[in-house]
Amino acid sequence: MINEIYDVIVVGGGHAGCEAAAAAANLGSKTLLITMNMQTIGQMSCNPAMGGIAKGQIVREIDAMGGYSGIVADKSAIQFKMLNLSKGPAMWSPRTQNDRMLFAEEWRHMLEQTENLDFFQDMVKGLTVENNKVTGVLTSLGLTIKGKSVILTNGTFLNGLIHVGDKQLGGGRMGEPKAYGITEQLTDLGFVA
């Protein structure tokens, strides 16, 4: 598996990473999803809801493009509600409240059923770059994984900082480590943090 050259490597297993990996694989690309923790794929970090006025529009657009977020939300919903019914129909917006654990479980199940998609648990600490072109990733285990393209969906984990009162802790989510190495490399490559 690791000696292959992937068409697409997706770094990060949150909602964006799950959608990116599924989309690439469903289009026939040999895809690898790398996440720091296989148990937190698709995890809802705070408000366990999908939908609402703004996010609901995005979920519907993802659904129209063949994405899985709406399906996973429906399968893990504990409440369905139409918001803003006291206003005109243009303001109505569907929202689900979801079982956080079931949501993540459903995402993982959907992805495991997706052809052309492999998984790897590790932290990506850098990109391999040759002649100003990204050619893969370097992991914290010291592995180089080659890819024709890399999609970064790191969320809050790049140089992540959690504030608790007047204390600051490094981390992507409470109790989970931040990603290191790749933030510094992206800055060195000219990306602004």
User: What are the pLDDT digits (tens) for 144-162?
Assistant: 999 999 999 988 777 777 8
45 contacts: CB under 8 Å, gap ≥ 6: 156, 173
109 contacts: CB under 8 Å, gap ≥ 6: none
Amino acid at 110: M
- How, if at all, do strands 167-170 and 161-164 pair? antiparallel
Look at 159-163, 171-175, 178-182 and tell me which has the smallest mean pLDDT.
Answer: 171-175
Average pLDDT of the chain is 91
170 by DSSP, 3-state: which? strand
- The domain ranges of the chain are 1-45+100-155, 49-98
Q: What digits encode the pLDDT tens for the residues 36-84?
A: 989 889 988 778 899 888 888 899 899 999 999 999 999 999 999 999 9
pLDDT the model gives residue 163:
86
110 has pLDDT over 90: yes
26 contacts: CB under 8 Å, gap ≥ 6: 66, 114, 115, 116
Options 3.40.50.1100, 3.50.50.60, 3.40.50.620, 3.90.226.10; CATH for 1-45+100-155 is: 3.50.50.60
pLDDT the model gives residue 83:
92
pTM: 0.89
10 Å Cβ neighbour count for 56? 20
**Contact indicator for 67, 60 with CB cutoff of 8 Å:** no
Radius of gyration of the chain (CA): 18
Residue predicted with more confidence, 167 or 137 = 137
Q: How confident is the model at residue 1 (pLDDT cuts 50, 70, 90)?
A: low
CA distance 44 to 50: 9
139 has pLDDT over 90: yes
Helices (H), 32-189: 53-64, 69-75, 100-112, 182-188
CA distance 67 to 119: 19
| For residues 121-129, average pLDDT | 95
